[in-house]
Amino acid sequence: MPYTGEKDLPWPDDLKEVCALINSDSDYPNGDYVRYAVKGRIEGKPWKKTKEHPITNGVPLEALPFAKMETQKFDVAPGAEVLIALDSGEPVLAVRQVGKGRVVTIAARSLSLTPTMRMPHDFANAPRYAIGSLVQPDRSGSFVGWRARIFGKGTPSELKVSAENADSFFMVQQWKDDAGKVTDWELLFKDPLRR
């Protein structure tokens, strides 16, 4: 969810200094509950990559259920780079260097780490989107911490998953050393519509 501020008041300057996306209409507390921002909620628009970056490389955004997703309208902070935007141009994910650190800000509306999505009741495989979304915080955390994702020693290969455990949206890659011992693994997105 966006910054929980005071209804109809601007963002504080100290928050603007440390975010890559700024000046959104704030959600606001109302008694014991947080209320949605009065304006700025955008629903159902596709996302697109605006540039290649370690956070977004290999993520098939086109496989996400955009018709069921919400984004909050933000401005891009000075010096920030937009990595993902709506096809109408509003920023979704941006990065920025702040002093010696880095910041990643996402405009997807959410109640936790994963974007809010209204799922149809016949959608049997909704968890795949929640699991897939968790790859982004991992990649973002590596980027912010100035650390490249370092995989295990050895050669990577796809771990074949069959029958009831197969999922057309994901693949698993594993690394084995010379002795055949698994040293690392990675969960990757895969667009099931592309062959």
What the chain holds in terms of domains, given with CATH numbers, is 13-29+36-111 (3.40.50.880), 155-189 (no CATH)
pLDDT digits 0-9 by tens, 85-114: 999 999 999 999 998 888 998 888 876 555
126-165: burial string, b at 16+ Cβ within 10 Å, e else: eebbeebbebbeebbeebbeeeeeeebebeeeeeeeeeee
In this prediction, residue 92 carries a pLDDT of 92
- The reported pLDDT for the residue numbered 49 is 92
| d(C-alpha 15, C-alpha 86), whole Å | 24
pLDDT at 53 over 80: yes
User: Residue range 143-164: average pLDDT?
Assistant: 72
Q: Is 101 helix (H, G, I), strand (E, B) or coil?
A: strand
* Residue with tokens 């057309």, as numbered in its chain: 168
Q: Which residue has the higher pLDDT, 61 or 119?
A: 61
Give the pLDDT score at 4.
Answer: 72
Q: With cut-offs at 50, 70 and 90, classify the pLDDT of residue 131.
A: very low
Q: What percent of the chain has pLDDT over 70?
A: 73
In this prediction, residue 77 carries a pLDDT of 95
Residue 97 has a pLDDT of: 92
Q: Are strands 170-176 and 81-86 parallel, antiparallel or unpaired?
A: unpaired
pLDDT band for 192, please (50, 70, 90 cuts): low
Mean of the per-residue pLDDT values of the chain? 77
pLDDT at 159 over 60: yes
Is residue 136 very low, low, confident or very high in pLDDT (cuts 50, 70, 90)? low
